[in-house]
Structure 1
Amino acid sequence: MTFNKKIKLGISVLAVGGLIASGSLFFTSTNASPKFSELNTPKISLEASYIEYGTVDELDSNAELIVIGTPLQGFDDRQHIVTSFDDGTIQDFYTLTNVKIDKVIKSPEGVALNAEEPLSIVEPISYIKDAGSKKKIAYEDYTELKQNEKSIIFLKKNTQGQYSVINMDLGKFAIEPSSQSPSISGEKQDSKEQFRKSVLEKYDLK
C-alpha cells in the first residue's frame, strides 16, 4: 500500500509502514465462481490513515495507472500476505490479485503494459487465522475485486514498487456489478454508488 497507518488489534496499537513481501498464507480453490467460504467468511475491518480523494478528478489526477481489468482468480486462490512482529502481532497484510488488462486508461509516461500478461496488484485485504478459524481482515471495510467482474481500477506504486489500489473502496468500481457483489445499505452505499456513476460517466463507461 502507499500509505502509513496505525492498526488497533485487540489492545495493541501497531505503527505500520510500507508493505513487506514476506510471510504468506495460501488458500486454494478450483471453482470459477465465488465459493461459500468467500461469501460467508467473517470479516474484521481496521481503521487506516490514508490519503482520501473525494472527487473523481482528484482520484484521476493522483492515480499513476488506471485500467479496466478483470481478476482471473477467486479470492481464495490469490496470494494472501501477512507479516508479523517478533511477538506474533500483525504488522501488515494484503492480497496480490492477478488482473487481466482489458484497457489502459492512464499509465506513466514511457511505460507500456503488456495486455497479454496479467498485472499483479495489491489490495488492502487478506485472510488471517484467528481462534482456529479463517477470517478476512481489511482496511476501512475494503471489499476485494470479484473474479470475472470487469472493473475500473485506480492504482499507484507503493514503496516496494507494486501497483496498489488507492482510495480504498472508492478506488475501484465494477462496471456492471454481479449478483455476487456485496451490498451496503444506507447512506454509505448511496454515496459509493453516486461516486461510481460519476466515474463511469467521466470515462464514458455507462
Structure 2
Amino acid sequence: MSVDDRYFDGLFAGNDDPWAFRQRWYEQRKRAITLAALPRAHYRAIFEPGCANGELSFELASRCDRLLCCDTAATAAALARTRLGPFDHAEVRHSRLPADWPEEQFDLIVLSEIGYYLDAEDLKRLIQRAEQSLTADGQLLACHWRPPIDGCPLNARQVHELLHEQLPLARLVLHQEADFLLELWSREPRSVATLEGLR
C-alpha cells in the first residue's frame, strides 16, 4: 500500500522543513548534482511531483518557461507556493499521484525522492502517466535515497528497476553513490557533446 497522506501531513505539522532541505549540506549538494545532471540549460515545461516545501522547485524555476509542481500535503503545497512567489511562470497544486496526474505535456519530469512512497502498482501507473506526458524530446530524472526508509513499500533500487522496466527511453545519466541514486532517461538519445557538434 502506498504511504498515506496522514504521514506527510504529520511531517509538516509545525515544521516547514522536515527534511532540513535548507540546512543540510547533503541536501544542498544533492540539489546541485541534480541540476548539473540536466542535459539542457533550459526547458519549456517542467513537472515536479512531490515538491515538498519547494527548495528544488525554486532552482528548477530558473531553468524553464513553465514549472508545475504538486504535493499531497496541503501545508507543503502552500509552502512551495510561497517559495515560488517570485516566479510568475510557476504553479503549485495540492494533489495526490498517480490519481491526479496533470493533463499537460512536459519536456522534463523530475521524480525526486518520491518513488518509494508508492507501492509497485501505483508506481507503475505513475511511470505510465509520466511517459505519456513527455514531449517528443522529453526527459525524466529520478533521484532517490538508497538506504531503506521505515514504512515505505519500496527502496531506491526497486524504484529504479521499475523505471528501467517501464520506460522505453534511452538512459543518458547515471550517478550513484552510497547515499543516493540518480538517473535520467530521454526520448532524445544523443549526448550533450553530440548535440553541440563536438562528437
Q: TM-score, normalised by structure 1?
A: 0.28
Q: Larger helix proportion, structure 1 or 2? A: 2
Higher relative contact order (CA 8 A, sep 6+): 1
Q: Larger strand proportion, structure 1 or 2? A: 1
